[in-house]
Amino acid sequence: MTDVLLKVDDVRKEFPTHSKEVVQAVAGVSLEVHKGETLGLVGETGCGKSTLARCMAHLYDVTSGSVWFEGQEISKLSRKAMRPLRRDVQVIFQDPYGSLNPRRRVGSIIGDPFAIHNIASGNDRKKKVQELMELVGLNPEHYNRFPAEFSGGQRQRIGVARALALRPKLVICDEPVSALDVSIQAQIINLLSDLQREFDLTYVFISHDLSVVRHVSDRIAVMYLGKIVELAPTSELFGQTRHPYTRALLSALPVADPDTADSREQIILGGDIPAATNPPTGCRFHTRCPKARLDCTAEEPPLEPVLNDQPQHRTACLYPLTVGEDLSTAVPDLKAS
């Protein structure tokens, strides 16, 4: 087994709403992030990816469960006790506009980590910041500019520079490219992979776009309504898809890919994503699953390996797909037999 850097153990996160209900944004997630890998996390919008990311970085207090970093439980640490660990766990945020303070100069934004952790000041800090700017492909002479003077891609580079300033061990990238034009996405992704190689970084890479995640990830976790439904090494997830939801996501990808071309059938999911305040019983996907059966509404499938010789490939489905199974013709059958 590889070294475990971050471990998430049955984490739940609920938000109160104005009425008395709660939103179950993360509903019991367990996973491990291995040193040096990139773990992809995909799912439709609102499924709880950002919330999970924030729990991982202990920006939220979890409702229950625990998060461990290098063997130390961090999910119950006070803000103060967490401080030194912030150097090791960094976040790159989804919105390159919102995550940079519009009223501060870029130099001081990128210099923030040094200031907060009392690492460098004055000219020393400036020098380090300019090195970082160069590292991420920004012109160091733009040190004194404001975020508004940069384009979206450049701003995300600023976010990357800030996250990497203290040479963290784990970087959680929450949709780092979703807000960018497709042509610029590739640049940022290249930058991230180069930096990973150079500094031995471990990434959790979040996106709602499976093709982006596939491109960068060693392993991929698929999320639906606050739960992981399938978790597998990238090639297995694509080659031997087990969960009907993953298959549906895959089928929505553009057909530019010969590997999956043979098994391509367009699967249109019926119905809307259920409200997170009131998730379906049993398997949360049963309201939209083409293979749903009556017991899917009662029994919650655990996330576990389908085949014993593939312990890395785990699926939460009572009726996992077999290789080559055609899902496009399946019809749900929820009647009692």
Half-sphere exposure of 142 (CA within 13 A, CB side): 21
Residues from 36 through 75 that contact Mg ion (CB under 5 A): 50
Query: How big is the chain by its Cα radius of gyration, in Å?
Result: 21
Q: Which of 37, 42, 50, 250 binds ligand ATP (CB under 6 A)?
A: 50
For tokens 């990973």, the residue is 196
Backbone φ and ψ for 30, nearest 5 degrees, come out as: -125, 130
- Mark the segment that binds ligand ATP (CB under 6 A) among 38-46, 121-129, 210-218, 309-317: 38-46
Q: Is 28 left (phi over 0), alpha (psi -120 to 50) or beta?
A: left
Q: What, of another protein, ligand ATP, ligand SF4, none, does residue 15 touch, CB below 5 to 8 Å by kind?
A: ligand ATP
Q: Residue 318 interacts with ligand SF4 (CB under 6 A)?
A: yes
Measure Cα distances from 310 to 237, 242, 267 in Å: 11, 12, 26
Residues 3, 187, 177: CA angle, nearest 5 degrees: 70
Residues from 180 through 239 that contact ligand ATP (CB under 6 A): 208
Which of 316, 310, 304 is closest to 226 using CA atoms? 316
Least spacing, CB of residue 15 vs ligand SF4, in Å:
25
Amino acid at 62: V
Q: What, of another protein, ligand ATP, Mg ion, none, does residue 316 touch, CB below 5 to 8 Å by kind?
A: none
Backbone φ and ψ for 84, nearest 5 degrees, come out as: -60, -30
Q: What, of another protein, ligand ATP, Mg ion, none, does residue 215 touch, CB below 5 to 8 Å by kind?
A: none
Closer of 183 and 329 to another protein (Cβ)? 183
CA 127 – CA 135 distance, rounded (Å):
12
Contact residues for another protein (CB under 8 A)?
18, 54, 57, 59, 79-80, 82-84, 86-87, 90-91, 93-95, 98-105, 112-113, 116-117, 134-137, 146, 148-154, 159, 162, 181, 183-184, 187, 190-191, 194, 198
Residues 34, 10, 236: CA angle, nearest 5 degrees: 45
Closer of 172 and 292 to Mg ion (Cβ)? 172
Least spacing, CB of residue 66 vs Mg ion, in Å:
22
Q: Which of 213, 276, 289, 316 binds ligand ATP (CB under 6 A)?
A: 276
Q: Residue 283 interacts with ligand SF4 (CB under 6 A)?
A: yes
Q: Residue 314 interacts with ligand SF4 (CB under 6 A)?
A: no
Q: Residue 23 interacts with ligand ATP (CB under 6 A)?
A: yes
What is the DSSP track for 155-179? HHHHHHHHHHTT--SEEEEESTTTT
- Mark the segment that binds ligand ATP (CB under 6 A) among 42-50, 74-82, 262-270, 278-286: 42-50
Residues 182 and 194 sit within 8 Å (Cβ to Cβ): no
What is the binding site for ligand ATP (CB under 6 A)? 15, 23, 25, 43, 45-51, 208, 276
User: Which residues contribute to the site for ligand SF4 (CB under 6 A)?
Assistant: 244, 283, 285-286, 289, 291-292, 296, 301, 317-319
